[in-house]
Chain A
């Protein structure tokens, strides 16, 4: 029963929070309207979402997000150092990142994470979907970079999505 009304509980929660943030006030009327919208919109768009993903460990998501924020801060400082370096000796590389996780949503999250942490950008996905092409701004040891991404992000995503 609950599954029928709320096909995507996290999407509904996100929509409700988004609505309240957009209104910037909390009142009973707005809250009720927000709940109605948060139930109706996922129901209406349910047929269009053909990429099902289940989050098994919601608390791990929070941990992942905090880790991501800290990493963004630290590596932004690194990037700033590289940019302001007087010499132009940078060592860019196009790296192939073999994927261990499967599924569209986990791979998308991983690719976005790689793009958000400065110094690396996801450029392409291989045609068979088993590897990402990463452009790194300044890297000395590509294998170490791949290992660190695997340990920091991919393992956690594997636990969150169980894939």
Chain B
């Protein structure tokens, strides 16, 4: 690694560590939340922010150590665009398969059939 000025070193270190902690929290949520729909919440977001933190750290690192570098931002943009889509598809699959939900889940749908994906 290149030696950075001390302010940049602190900034990069804190961004990386914050990102890593968010990713860890997301993975803990994936491991310990009780049902599938709840588990879906943890990784799709915390990891997005976790990767975002690491990527921001990498942007600062490369911008300070060599030339101005911004292209890591593409990964963050890409993740921000795709995370809702994969979450939506997985939620759809979970609802479609009618997975077990924790018993205190309240179902406030007025007409559940209106959401089913069957072509009937």
- Give the residues in chain B near A137, CB-CB below 8 Å: 38, 41
Q: What is the total number of residues of chain B having a CB less than 8 Å from a CB of chain A?
A: 45
Listed residue (A23, A80, A123, A137) with the most chain B CB atoms within 10 angstroms of its CB: A123
Report Cα–Cα, A88/B33, bound state, in Å: 8
Q: How would you classify the secondary structure of chain B's contact residues: helix, strand, loop or mixed? A: helix
CB distance from A87 to the nearest CB of B (A): 11
Q: A22 at the A/B interface (Cβ < 8 Å)?
A: yes
A-B CB contact pairs (8 Å), 14 listed: A21-B71, A21-B73, A72-B45, A76-B45, A76-B49, A80-B22, A83-B25, A91-B104, A91-B106, A92-B101, A92-B105, A94-B105, A116-B83, A137-B41
Q: Which of B80-96 contact A (CB under 8 A)?
A: 80, 83-85, 87-88, 91-92, 94-95
Complex contact B70–A116 (CB within 8 A): no
- Give the residues in chain B near A116, CB-CB below 8 Å: 45, 48, 80, 83-84
Q: Which of A37-55 contact B (CB under 8 A)?
A: none
Complex contact B25–A84 (CB within 8 A): yes
Contact of B87 among A79, A88, A115 (CB under 8 A): A115
